[in-house]
Structure 1
Amino acid sequence: MTDVTSGSSGVAAHRKVSLLPPYAAGKPPVAVPGLRPYKLSSNENPFAPVPAVVERIHEVVAGAEGEPSPVCRYPDPLSTALRERLAAHLDVPADDIVTGGGSLGALTQVITAFAGDGGEDGAPDEVVFAWRSFEAYPIVVRTAGAKDVQVPLTADGRHDLPAMLAAITERTKVMLLCTPNNPTGPVLTTAEVEDFLAQVPPHVLVVIDEAYVEFVRHPDAVDGPAMYRRHPNVVVLRTFSKAHGLANLRVGYSVSRPEVTASLRTVAVPFAVSTVAEQAAIASLDHLDEVLERVQTVVDERERVVAALAEAGWDVPETHANFVWLPLGERGADFAAAAGERALSVRAFPEGVRVSISEREANDRFLEVARAFQR
């Protein structure tokens, strides 16, 4: 009997659905009279895409003069133009790039292709990752029929790489490294990842999730594409959702060797990246200097916020993303409520609170809440 839930129709969901933790998206702020609301719960870029990207989106939707809008047509399933533009940007072969609906879509392809129920004996494959990390990891893993092996973070919010290595078994198929780690913020360094990869069996895929890479300022931070060039079992994930401000258009990608990409293309959802998203991403790459200027504004605000938190007595992990982490434990819900009273939505987890860096006014108000909460 595989059915466990059913509605009035009598149609029941597969039993594995009951094992999935729900994905909880960041909630919008509650309106408070006299205060502009700010959503600091989803790590969104506070800036719109650069003007050239917005212009390109309008051009694509409108279509060529005298021609119908291409919106009525299916997009290129391989996102050929974007992959070629990314290949030039990253100095990698276009065939080593597979696009997806955000980096989460690209990750789903990896897990679907390389981890599942384990074969004839029915025992599940295993996917190892640090925890707490990106909330979707256990959802994607369990949906594929695999078992998630969660390795606790260190006290300062970092991956415990020795413990992750110790968690490898004969059933381990994939390992996930989130750098900077979401929701805590620290990065992995080149030296520690090289040492880690030297001890991982070569048949185990190691995914380096770099969704926030543009915000990194650590001089020794690991570089995913460099690892992929040196290690055949490395897959790199990146996205246009964060730094490029294209979260709503859902475009991300993976970079890996041809023996990996062949499988990823087999399981990829057809037409996951629209023509609008593809062309917007290309235009953003074509105006990368403008994008990175806006990223630097966010980074400057991040550093200002972190310094102010330290001055107020907070001990927060070193962050290289567009958010900060308050290790409040069970007091996180109280902090989220206090922020809500000031028209701010933040993301509370059982271990603490993640707060996205936003406009200066929003950041100042968050700091007011943080200072008051410390007293």
Structure 2
Amino acid sequence: MTESPDRSSRADAPVRIRPEIAALPPYRQGKQATGDAYKLSSNENPFDPLPSVLVALQGAIALNRYPDATAGRLRQRLSARFGVSPDEVHIGAGSVSILAQLILAAAGPGDEVIYAWRSFEAYPGLVLIAGAVPVEVPLDADARHDLPAMAAAVTERTRVIIVCTPNNPTGPIVTHAEFEEFLAAVPRDILVILDEAYAEFVTASDAVDGMRVLGTSGHDNVVALRTFSKAFGLAGLRIGYAIGHPRILDAARTTSIPLSVTAQAEEAALASLSAESELLERVRVIAGRRDRLAEGLREVGWRVPDAQGNFVWLATGAETAAAAELFEADGLIVRPFAGDGLRISVGEHESVEKILRIAASVVRTLPEGHAGRG
């Protein structure tokens, strides 16, 4: 009997694939939880959807009809909220899809895209898919963006710079003063993407606010990205938005996949904005839980960077895989980043004490002088 060929190898593709794509691992989301385990691997909102949002969703089910390709009602709502025109608002299937559109619009083969590292794990792949060259600038000793080093990395081939604040997965913010100084050092024809997926969780008073930046003259090269996935709890519906100059957003719209934002997602986002005060009260609960978790981790011996998203970061370094296994063995599914660290999402209230208990045992396994120890 002849054995069937192994079709799983990317190197044995039956057609010619771009070498850089064949070598690129596909994006992998946080591991799913089973049984009674807590899923703390994907920065999801642990609260169930609001009843008013569920009612709005039920009224939006018309699966035989295409959605409004412009998401016009949501654009109108957001434009009124931020004091901009509807043309300065773009809606996408999650903010990451708009990020991909912007990179495709601005950077091509041989162009460079600068971002901090470690930051959002999708950045390298999105840059390579566009055919551009990733330029990774290491975070500083406090797991923060080194903006002077990023400005110094600009060359004549730089087309895009991504600034993630709060930084995913490490947690610290970029301040408003730091960002203004950075913009002054960067040529105005370079697209600067301010990725603010976790903006609603920020409690630092000096944090940069993309909407404030966009209201300042001379910053037409900045686009701010936000999402309904995190604070608003709509991760499963995939909807996010960008605010920026109309011509830049037109270019993003040109590269987008048509009709990718569903009517259900738009309806849920509109309902969420109507229930914003109730949702933001949940955000305050999560932020307070985050602060208690971060402080508790420091008390048991961890060195935890300033946490301003809905997650905390443990710099486990070479011990990352082993540490993740110890958490998982006790029903805590965290997000390992090989060789760097663990990101732990702020989940259910009941998970906090369990995290601290396991974390206390894990930190004792780290060698003296380890970067993760406080």
Match for residue 88 of structure 2? 96
Q: Indicate the SS of the match to 2:114.
A: strand
Q: Which residue number corresponds to residue 283 of structure 1?
A: 271
Q: Where has structure 1 moved over 6 Å in runs of 4 or more?
A: none
5+ residue gaps, structure 2, are: 1-9, 365-374
1:208 aligns with 2:212: no
Q: Which residue of 2 aligns with 1:356?
A: 345
- C-alpha root-mean-square deviation of aligned residues, in Å? 1.2
CA shift at 1:374, angstroms?
2.3
Structure 1 residue 12 displacement after superposition: 3.1
Aligned partner of 1:121 in structure 2 is none
Aligned to 1:15: 19
Q: Which amino acid aligns with 1:355?
A: I
> In the alignment, residue 358 of structure 1 is paired with which amino acid?
G
Aligned to 2:207: 221
Q: Deviations for 1:329-358, whole angstroms, at most 9, x for unmatched residues?
A: 011111110011111110111211000000
Q: Which amino acid aligns with 2:111?
A: D
* Cα distance in structure 2, aligned partners of 1:339 and 1:88: 45
Q: 1:334 is matched with which residue?
A: 322
User: How far has the Cα of 1:30 moved from its partner?
Assistant: 5.0
Cα gap change, 1:30/1:48 in structure 2, threshold over 3 Å: closer, same or farther?
closer
Where 2:192 maps in the other structure, the secondary structure is strand
Query: How many residue pairs were aligned?
Result: 352
Task: Give the counterpart letter for 2:17 in structure 1.
Answer: A
Measure the CA separation in 2 of the matches of 1:371 and 1:11.
51
Distance 2:11 2:300 in 1: 49
Gaps of 5+ in 1: 62-69, 118-123
Q: Which amino acid aligns with 2:37?
A: P
Question: Structure 1 CA distance, aligned partners of 2:142 and 2:324?
Answer: 21
Per-residue displacement from partner, 1:290-314 (whole Å, max 9, x unpaired)? 1101111111110111111111121
Out of 106, 109, 114, which is 2:106 matched to? 114
Q: 3-state SS of the aligned residue for 2:286?
A: helix
Deviation at 1:22, TM superposition (A): 2.8
Task: Tell me the secondary structure at the aligned position of residue 249 of structure 2.
Answer: helix
Which residue of structure 1 aligns with residue 51 of structure 2?
A: 51
Distance 2:260 2:194 in 1: 22
Q: What does residue 24 of structure 1 align with?
A: 28
Q: What is the identity, as a one-letter code, of the residue corresponding to 1:14?
A: R
1:64 aligns with: none
Equivalent AA in structure 2 for residue 302 of structure 1: R
Query: Which residue among 190, 194, 206 is the counterpart of 2:180?
Result: 194
- 2:138 & 2:301 partners in 1: Cα distance? 25
TM-score, normalised relative to structure 1:
0.92
Instruction: Answer yes or no: is 1:153 the counterpart of 2:150.
Output: no
- Residue 5 of structure 1 aligns to a residue whose secondary structure is helix
- How far does the alpha carbon of each residue in 1:58-109 deviate from its partner, in whole angstroms, 9 at most, with x for none? 1111xxxxxxxx2211111110001011112222211101111101011011
The corresponding residue for 2:124 is 138
CA distance in structure 1 between the partners assigned to 2:166 and 2:363 by the alignment? 26
Which of 170, 173, 178 is matched with 2:159 structurally? 173
Answer yes or no: is 1:308 the counterpart of 2:312: no
State the one-letter code of the partner of 2:81.
H
